[in-house]
Amino acid sequence: MSLSQIDLNLLLVLDTVLSERSVVRAVQHLHVTPSAVSNSLARLRSLLGDPLVIRSGRGIVPTPHAASLAPALKRALSEL
């Protein structure tokens, strides 16, 4: 996978979902539709080969891979 294959908006969605620990709150924060967040996560899952988040009760839990990406992702987005 090349970095040129990744839309930076997908990374913003992932960062928000991981920070909020909720797709519903991510939707509200990003001002997009639930299907937009779902589609973004699906594209990232395909690109990264990982489920990224798992439903847990009323929220979500990051997979170990997503959890390991979260700090670098947050830093990179804040620097941009």
pLDDT digits (tens, 9 = 90+) for 36-60: 999 999 999 999 999 999 999 888 9
3, 65 Cβ separation under 8 angstroms: no
Q: What Rg, from alpha-carbon coordinates, does the chain have? A: 12
**Closest listed residue to residue 69, CA positions, set 46, 56, 43, 50:** 50
For 15, residues 6+ apart whose C-beta sits below 8 A from its C-beta are: 70, 73, 74, 77
pLDDT at 73: 95
**Closest listed residue to residue 58, CA positions, set 15, 25, 30, 14:** 25
Which domains, ranges and CATH numbers included, belong to the chain?
3-79 (1.10.10.10)
Query: What is this structure's pTM?
Result: 0.90
